[in-house]
Each structure stands twice: as C-alpha cells, then as structure tokens.
Amino acid sequence: MEFTIQHFIALAPLLITSLTIVVVMLAIAWRRNHSQTFLLSCAGLNLALLSIIPALKVAPLAVTPLMMIDDFALLYIALILVATLACVTLAHAYLGEGGTGYPGNREELYLLILLAAAGGIVLVSAQHLAGLFIGLELLSIPTYGLVAYAFFNKRSLEAGIKYMVLSAAGSAFLLFGMALLYAEAGSLSFTGIGHALATTNMPAPIAQLGLAMMLIGLAFKLSLVPFHLWTPDVYEGAPAPVAAFLATASKVAVFAVMVRLFQISPAANTGVLSNVLTVIAIASILFGNLLALTQNNLKRLLGYSSIAHFGYLLIALVASKGLAVEAIGVYLVTYVITSLGAFGVITLMSSPYKGRDADALYEYRGLFWRRPYLTAVLTVMMLSLAGIPLTAGFIGKFYIIATGVEAHEWWLVASLILGSAIGVFYYLRVMVTLYLIEPNLRRVDAELHWEQKAGGVMLLAIALLAFFLGVYPQPLLTLVQHAVLGV
C-alpha cells in the first residue's frame, strides 16, 4: 500500500509516542537526570494527546491491513495517553529526588511505561489478529519489568515473576485460539473472520473453540474469574504507580480490542460463548466483591474491586446491542478516573520511597487529621467506585444497568445490584478508617517535595473531575456517543 500524509496524521499519536521513547532512551544514554526524563516523557505524551485532534479529521482510515484508526480507536488512545500521563506524574513523586528517593536507577521506569503505552495504542487500533498480538505483547513485556521494578523488595520480584509466567500462559492460549480461528475462517482480519463465520448460522466447533481460547487469553489480562488469582499479589507487589498503570491503561487497551473483536464477529454473541461470558461476568462480580470484604491491604482491596468492575463491564459486552458500546465507553472513562485517584493517594502516601508501599489499611487510620486533602481525594474515589450518586462511578454503573435491562439480562442485572451492595460495605470501611481519631501514636509524615505537590494537584483535579462528571455528565456522554456511534 502507498502511504499518504493522511496515514501519517492518523498514526500521529503512535508515531509521537514512539519518537518520545527514542528521545528518552537517548537522553538517558547521554546523561542520567530524573527530572529531565520526566519532563521529556510528559512533553511527548502531551504532544501525542494533541495529535489526536488532527487525526480525528482524517478518521476513519485503515493504516495497513493491521490497523484501523477511527473515532472508537482514538477515544481509547486518548484514555490510554491520559492514564499514562497520570502514572508518569505519580511515578515522579514516588521515585523521589536525591538520597531520599528510590535507591536504584529511576529513569528506565519512564521508558518502560512509554513502551507499554505504545503497545496499548497499537492494541486499540488493531483490526487484524497479528496487530492484536503485536500490541498485546508490546503492552505486556515492559509491564513485567515495571512490576518487578522495586528489585530490592521481595514482594515486587515475586509479583513480576508471577505476572510474567501467567501472562505467557495467557498469550499461549490466545495464539492457539488465533490458529484455530484462522483454520476455520481462512483470514486473520477481524472483518474477514466475521464474514466467514456469518455465512454459517451456527459457527463450527473449531471456530467456537478458537474464540473460547482467545477469550481465555484476554480474560487472563483482564483478571476475570477464574483467571484472576494473580491480580491481588501483583497489585500488592508492584510499585504504586505501576499498579495504577496496570489497573487503568493496560486493562482499557485489552477491553477495547475485545469489544472491537466481539462487535465485528457475531459468532461471539450467539450460543455457548454468550453463556460462558454470562457465567464469567456473574462469577467475577460476586467473587471480586466477596474476596475484597476480608482485605486489610488497600492495594489488594482495589485489585479484587477491579475484578468486580470488569465483571460489570462484561454485562454490556454480553448485551452487545442498543446502549452497549456507549455504556462500555462511559464506564471505562469513569473507572480510569477513579482508579487513578485511588492509586494516586497510595503513591503519595508511599513517598519518598522507604521499603514497602504504605498500602496497609491501618496506615490510613486517622489520615484526615494529618493529610486532609489526600483524605478528600480518597473519599471521593471510594464513593465513585461504590457508584454513589453525584460521582462519576454512578453514571457508569447507571449505563451498565440500563444496558442489561434493555437486553433483558435479568440474572446479570441482579448480580450487579448484589455486587454493588457488597461493594458499598468495604468502600465505606476504608472511608470510616480515614476519619477515625488516631490513638496516641506519634506519626511523622514525610515532608512534601515539589514533585509530590505536583502529584497532589493532579489528584485534586481528578477528584474534582469525578465529582463534576457525576453532577454534569453531558460532556462525557457527548464525547463517547461521537466516538462509538459517530453522532
């Protein structure tokens, strides 16, 4: 195919992110400077975000048979870049400066996050199984290094190895599923597979098995039950900004490509596979919420909570008509905002870096009396995750319920309501802990450096955004409708 200027404009977010990776790599080779690396990463991510505006004018455009840049892809590219930018800002606060900060090399963390973000951009633009696999591996491989980045911490190394082994198993399932689909459909492109499977009313057993194996591979990455066992351990062991990246940008990219694959291939929405998705959704909602009840570690609690949230999202995927794609877009935006805020508070509590992260619930006892602004942010995030009205989380959950009702998926709606009721209990438990009067313990909080103040300002902005979208969601709804419905 022949490349035109339109193709380069459409690919601008990916090209700028890739160029930023090269620039950051050369800057590290030339001179190690933590703040310089951070500023270069931020500048590149902001430029990539801005380049989405001209890309919208040339979309939709197929850039090679592997990638399709359309409004749907650009919405999720923007979400991944915003989440990456937030995680980079948190990483700067987390790693600290000088002798008070992280004892190893700091700069490579930014390089790995940027590489993973580039993988996410490829993934959400994929319209071909080869593109999907390249994007997924480019997203996953740097993440192994990120999870084990606190190499002197035994839990971090353990989390990195666990994630690598299980992720490799997930990738193997995915490849096997792709091979079976290719054997049946004779094509690797999403549309080719869709057309081949649509010619028969009921897909062949090989195609069903191929889709099921691909679903297992993607469910590993999304930590859906019963492929969820790695999640709490990896979230607990990973450095706080990396856990934030895993919970937001990484999962958004995988879920977006799953939506595209299932939208194009009607085979996924019929018969056995639809029933399997329903069972996985109900199990993820119930197991995620019930296991979170017993947690005294905030990162593990958020890990189990994320299992439940992706169970909620599966409801819209199973419904797959009417409001479904719009509901998924709205829910993912609200989920990213709230997860970034929650992990952001853990990050700033853990800075400057001293041993393990401040993620035990007892460390947040009476936080209101020491750091009121962090308490305010975490309170809004917990309310939003619980889906309380006047927060962004409520809008997302409302859309998912509306989708389930519209499709008459009553079992799924019932499990969502039950799961949300259980969720309110453990989210409120965290909130109550924040406001308890502290016993006679003398606690000395870390002095705030400028990079932590920058992280704090960003967290306050996230909390205000979560509240604003809960009160006035129209801008978000308009944006998502334009992206997924083209209206």
Q: For 68-96, what is the mean pLDDT?
A: 89
Q: For 58-76, what is the mean pLDDT?
A: 85
For 278-320, the pLDDT digits (tens) are: 899 999 999 999 999 888 889 999 999 999 999 999 888 888 7
Residue-level pLDDT at 358: 78
For 312-347, the pLDDT digits (tens) are: 998 888 887 767 888 888 999 999 999 999 999 988
C-alpha 175/C-alpha 139 separation (Å) is 16
Cα angle value 247/252/254 (rounded, 5°) = 105
For 146-163, the pLDDT digits (tens) are: 998 887 778 888 889 989
* pTM check: above 0.95: no
pLDDT at 61 over 70: yes
Residue that wins the pLDDT comparison between 253 and 482: 253
C-alpha 307/C-alpha 122 separation (Å) is 24
In sequence order, which ranges of 226-270 are alpha helices (DSSP H)?
231-237, 240-245, 251-264
SS3 content of the chain, % helix, strand, coil (to 5): 75, 0, 20
pLDDT at 203 over 70: no
Residue-level pLDDT at 185: 81
Q: Among all chains, which residue has been given the structure tokens 């090209």? A: 15
pLDDT at 246 over 80: yes
Instruction: Please provide the average confidence, as pLDDT, over all residues in the chain.
Output: 85
Residue-level pLDDT at 486: 59
For 172-202, the pLDDT digits (tens) are: 999 999 998 888 888 888 888 887 777 766 6
pLDDT at 448 over 70: no
Residue 234 CB contacts under 8 Å (≥ 6 apart), including other chains: 147, 159, 162, 163, 243, 246, 303
**DSSP run (H or E) holding 370:** none
| Secondary structure letter of residue 246 according to DSSP | I
In 3D, which of 123, 127, 130, 7 has the Cα closest to residue 63? Answer: 7
For 34-44, the pLDDT digits (tens) are: 888 899 999 99
Cis peptide bond upstream of 352, omega within 30: yes
Both tokens assigned to 167: 């992720």
Residue-level pLDDT at 444: 46
Both tokens assigned to 317: 């995927």
Q: For 455-482, what is the mean pLDDT?
A: 87
Lowest mean pLDDT among 143-152, 269-278, 381-390: 269-278
C-alpha 235/C-alpha 222 separation (Å) is 13
